[in-house]
Amino acid sequence: MPLDTLATAAFWSAAAQIVLIDLLLGGDNAVVIALASRSLPLPQRRRAIVWGTVGAVGLRVVLTLFAVSLLELPWLKLVGAVLLAWIGMRLMLPEDQHADVRAADRLWVAVRTVITADLIMSLDNVVAIAAAARNAATGHEWALVAFGLVLSVPIIVWGSALVIGLISRFPVIVELGAMLLGWIAGGLAAVDPAVHPWLQARSWGQAAHVLGGALGLLLVWVGGRWLRRRHVARSRGH
């Protein structure tokens, strides 16, 4: 990259936007990793964080290549929203749900959960990073995208460790984290090309994103509590 590019205001403006995007959006991924790996023994937990982060960043690289065309596909976000809401409900189950499963298997279950959730949540994230990168000098967008992806790794890893530490002190964070996924899922569904024009045509269309998020949050909270009660009842029955 030529040094004169580094001296432009457009380059540093785009870089600052990417840092802000990573800080704001990396928290979602950190919460998912923390919730999915919280019940693992410490060595497996560290591996889940590392492999989950590697998988998440790898997917972002692929998604960045196809993000714009992917987001134009109808029903994709709706399907992703349903999957993300289900993941949020499952994450509300007690930590002993896999007590009879080997630690190695539990590790890969956690990694799969992390990668699946991140794949869904990253659909919009990579578009935001790519859009910010295009504000830089022409021809250097990918250098900024790579910068954003590399920066996201320490943010996600550090954030995951922080959230796990908080969960041990404040278990309610598990429920709040699951509800956050519900909020994201509802908002994602509201902007799917298959339903977005219809929603915008309604008198309350401008609030569709917020309403969708609220409904998703409520769905995950109610569904997650129901799954947890059923799990506890089955455990007592055995």
Quick one: pLDDT at residue 99?
46
Cβ atoms within 10 Å of 142's Cβ, excluding its own = 12
Cβ atoms within 10 Å of 174's Cβ, excluding its own = 21
25 Cβ partners below 8 Å, 6+ apart? Answer: 121, 125, 128
Confidence of residue 71 (pLDDT cuts 50, 70, 90): low
Quick one: pLDDT at residue 100?
45
Confidence of residue 177 (pLDDT cuts 50, 70, 90): confident
Which of 24-28, 54-58, 203-207 has the least mean pLDDT?
24-28
Mean pLDDT within 155-165: 80
Confidence of residue 222 (pLDDT cuts 50, 70, 90): very high
Confidence of residue 81 (pLDDT cuts 50, 70, 90): confident
Quick one: pLDDT at residue 223?
94
Q: Are residues 182 and 85 in contact, defined by beta-carbon separation less than 8 angstroms?
A: yes
Quick one: pLDDT at residue 205?
83
| Helix 42-71 with 141-169: angle, nearest 10 deg | 140
pLDDT digits 0-9 by tens, 100-135 = 445 556 778 888 888 887 777 766 666 666 666 665
Confidence of residue 220 (pLDDT cuts 50, 70, 90): very high
> Is 138 a residue whose pLDDT tops 60?
no
Give the Cα separation of 152 and 33 in Å (integer).
14
Cβ atoms within 10 Å of 34's Cβ, excluding its own = 27
Quick one: pLDDT at residue 101?
43
20 Cβ partners below 8 Å, 6+ apart? Answer: none
> Is 217 a residue whose pLDDT tops 90?
yes
Cβ atoms within 10 Å of 225's Cβ, excluding its own = 14
Extract the tokens encoding 104. 């190695």
Which residue do the tokens 């959006």 mark? 25
For the chain, the domains span 3-237
Mean pLDDT within 45-50: 84
- CA torsion sign for 217, 219, 225, 230 is negative
> Is 46 a residue whose pLDDT tops 90?
no
Helix, strand and coil content of the chain, in percent to the nearest 5, comes to 85, 0, 15
Quick one: pLDDT at residue 129?
66
> Is 97 a residue whose pLDDT tops 60?
no
